[in-house]
Amino acid sequence: MDSFLSDLRFAWRTLRRTPAFTLAAVVTLALGIGANTALFSVIRGVLLKPLPYHDEGALVRLQQQTTNDSSPVGFSPVDVEALKERTRTLTTVAEYHSMWFILLGKKEPERVQTGVVSSAYFDLLGVQPILGRGFTAADEKPGAEPVLLLSNRYWQRSFASDPKVLNRAFRMNDHVHTVVGVLPPLPAYPDDNDVYMPVSACPFRMGENTVHNPQARMLAVIARTKPGTRTAAVADDLHRVSKEVEKDFPDAFPKVGLVHSAITLKEDMTGNSRTTLLVLLGATGLVLLIACANVANLILANLLRRGHELAMRTALGAGRARLMRQLVTESTLLSLVGGAAGVLLATRGVPLLAGFAARFTPRTEDVHLDAGVLLFALGVSLLTGIAAGLLPALPWKDVLAPSLLGGSRTTVGLGGSRLRGALVVAQVAVSFVLLIGAGLLLRSFLYLQTVDPGVKTEKVLTLRVALNFTRYKTPAQRLDFFERLLLKVQARPGVLSAAVSGTVPMDDGRSGRTNLVLEGAPLDATDTQPQMDLHVASPGYFAVASVPVLAGRAFDANDGPDKRVLVISRSVAEKLATPWSDVVGRRATSDKGRNWFTIVGVVGDVRNRLDAAPRDAVYQQLARIPLLAPRVFVRTAQPPEALSRSLVEAVYELDPEQPVDDIRTLDAVRENALAPPKLTAALLGIFAGVALLITAAGIGGVMAFSVGQRTQEIGVRMALGARRGDVLRAVLTPGLGLVVAGLALGLAGAVGLTRLMSSLLFGVRPVDPITFAAVGLVLAAVALVASFLPARRATAIEPMVALRTT
């Protein structure tokens, strides 16, 4: 311990004597360690921490989809009951679905997202309320008194964490609901619900058209497996039960068949974020490698400047192990200081990364700098310090040999020179890989920005008006409300036009599903065709959203509830007829001829997601399907945000208890759709930029050190008549050779590694020649500038001054 403390004190004094070297090393390490610490906090919170559920490995979500379509198919109450009675691999089965209801009893009406669950749902998860009680079997019985559980976030947000909320009564769905408990903080899974109710309190779940209807596939199923059961066995069990139900209700199942699977809850929560986070973690790891290599180069340069000192210590009996220990102590001290600075940087970066991860996963409530993350930072700092210290210490005999032999400081050991060159090659190679990844994501994002969503987003405002179904019970009442609302909205100053639709473009929202068969085609073809999105729109919607009418006409005021007409997207028309425009005026059915509709128009394709091809879309008029919670679209003559309050007041004029929410412009919807790829590209671009700066500094440092070591040689050359251009070329050539070698190595690595990013790219191939060429040129230019500045200083050396240098 005395020897260690002595080394530590000596290391501290040594670092204080070289403030420029110390500052450069600490800043470099802080960038590398800080980036890794911040991202590891997200990885730990999202991917590594256990879920706040009991025995999470036994929790699965059951899934099914048709064989000819990737869209998920829900479960019916009949399916759930069959699973409870016939399963062989599950101990507990609970259903779940989420709906929006209007909560009355506060100062203003509020639309709340409500999770409708089995009474065993929270017991299955092993979750106990922090206030009050949970649901019981008695709460699930038909006719039971309606009760509510509040989510922790909603309790804090709307009731300021007031424990007196227990036993308070609120009106919802024309019934009084009593709050019986408050849940602990939980992931927003499967949805970010405000409140929860048992299935007996949901009027839609308990309706006659749902309870015993095998086609009412509106439910998700969460289950707990028996000990040792694998998800594949659960999927087989689910398939067996489904086939048994199909025998009882053969007409309720699609002819193409269903594919069944089971996925763990953790995988279901984190699956969308895993690839992105691992790519970013790999990027920060490469940044740390570059930082370590750069610091190793700095240490090596500093080591050569200390040649006389180390030679003297060797002459006095210090062995190789003793010198290496001292060097590792110095580098570790440097790394710990850099790690502390990195943690300070990470504290600023973690909230930004958590907000980024929230777009992919609900597991961001555990993202913070805790003891585990700090231990990670400490471990990374220690390993980085040891690695950076050992790397230049390995060829110590070659480095120190000239000093031991009485040579001057102008002589450079071969081992040290080779090692510094290898470190530069490694830095350039890793930087090339990072820049390629950032370049591909940037090109993908730029391509997404040019994608035509199928609508014009400028000066269009959307707002959701979800009607209280207990007051607007009939389709005629709902249709009347929206017709009157549109008249009021269109009369507002600054409004050009208004319409209603069930979904928002680019929002990846849910819609109904259907398929079509033209009259004259086999009616059974509806069983094998891929499903199409079913949208609802009022007259004027296509004009408000600027969706082009390509053939025929759009809906108009004459298309009342008795008119069976359809408007279809171009992609649907192309599948139904050749040429596609011939579909206008023809009849089509989606239920094997029981009902026929006339196709009156073909409109342009509208993207449900910017990073995916437009989906086939079929539109019916609002008069036939008066929705409970549609969107009102308003095209304005002025900035739409300025009209939002006026539009809300128009709703209140019709019904003061009618809430309005989710007020957004279409421009904001588009920006939100672009946010994930934009943030991913920006983060990887930041990491790549840091790596480029560190690499440029490393190249410049090596070149400057080389010039310093070759001062006498350059002086001799110039004294003998060498021209400045010859000297410049002689100094630049070795450095640029290292850069070329690094680019070649980085090219090989990038070709292999960027294929792992293919799921994050859109419109760009993983091996994109434009990106590879551009990145190569940028890196070569940066390296040339970094090399040129110290090389240019070499040409300014006065020969006589250089010859006198010892």
pLDDT tens digits for 719-774? 667 677 777 777 778 777 888 888 888 888 888 777 777 877 888 888 889 999 99
The residues, any chain, with a CB within 8 Å of residue 400's CB and separated by 6 or more, are: 307, 310, 311, 314, 413
- pLDDT above 70: percentage of residues in the chain: 89
Phi, psi angles (nearest 5°) of residue 673: -70, -30
Calpha distance 601→566 (Å, rounded):
7
Calpha distance 484→357 (Å, rounded):
42
Q: Say yes or no to pLDDT of 314 above 80.
A: no
Q: Say yes or no to pLDDT of 387 above 90.
A: no
The residues, any chain, with a CB within 8 Å of residue 103's CB and separated by 6 or more, are: 109, 110, 111, 112, 170, 171, 172, 195
Q: Say yes or no to pLDDT of 96 above 70.
A: yes
Comparing 318 with 174, which gets the higher pLDDT? 174
With CA atoms as reference, report the closest residue to 246 among 57, 477, 82, 54: 82
Q: What is the mean pLDDT of residues 697-726?
A: 70
Q: Say yes or no to pLDDT of 415 above 50.
A: no
pLDDT in the model for residue 399:
45
Calpha distance 208→679 (Å, rounded):
47
With CA atoms as reference, report the closest residue to 279 among 757, 692, 676: 757
Per the CB < 8 A criterion, the answer to whether 47 and 372 are in contact is no
Q: CB neighbours (10 Å) of residue 151?
A: 22
Chain centroid to CA 208: how far?
41
* Token pair recorded at residue 802: 């250089």
Q: What is the mean pLDDT of residues 25-47?
A: 86
The residues, any chain, with a CB within 8 Å of residue 285's CB and separated by 6 or more, are: 36
Cα angle 179, 181, 186 (rounded to 5 degrees) comes to 125
Q: DSSP class of residue 50?
A: P
* Token pair recorded at residue 798: 């006065």
Calpha distance 646→488 (Å, rounded):
10
Cβ burial of 54 (10 Å; 0-12, 13-18, 19+) is middle
Calpha distance 771→779 (Å, rounded):
12
With CA atoms as reference, report the closest residue to 689 among 404, 284, 415: 284
Calpha distance 712→365 (Å, rounded):
62
Q: Measured over all CA atoms, what is the biggest interatomic distance in the chain, rounded to whole angstroms? A: 106
**What is the band of 466 on the pLDDT scale with cuts at 50, 70, 90?**
confident
Per the CB < 8 A criterion, the answer to whether 39 and 114 are in contact is no
pLDDT in the model for residue 400:
43
Per the CB < 8 A criterion, the answer to whether 757 and 437 are in contact is yes
Comparing 371 with 565, which gets the higher pLDDT? 565
Chain centroid to CA 292: how far?
29
Q: What is the mean pLDDT of residues 622-635?
A: 92
- pLDDT above 90: percentage of residues in the chain: 36
Calpha distance 426→424 (Å, rounded):
5
pLDDT in the model for residue 331:
82
Q: What is the mean pLDDT of residues 290-294?
A: 79
**What is the band of 403 on the pLDDT scale with cuts at 50, 70, 90?**
very low
* Token pair recorded at residue 716: 């001799």
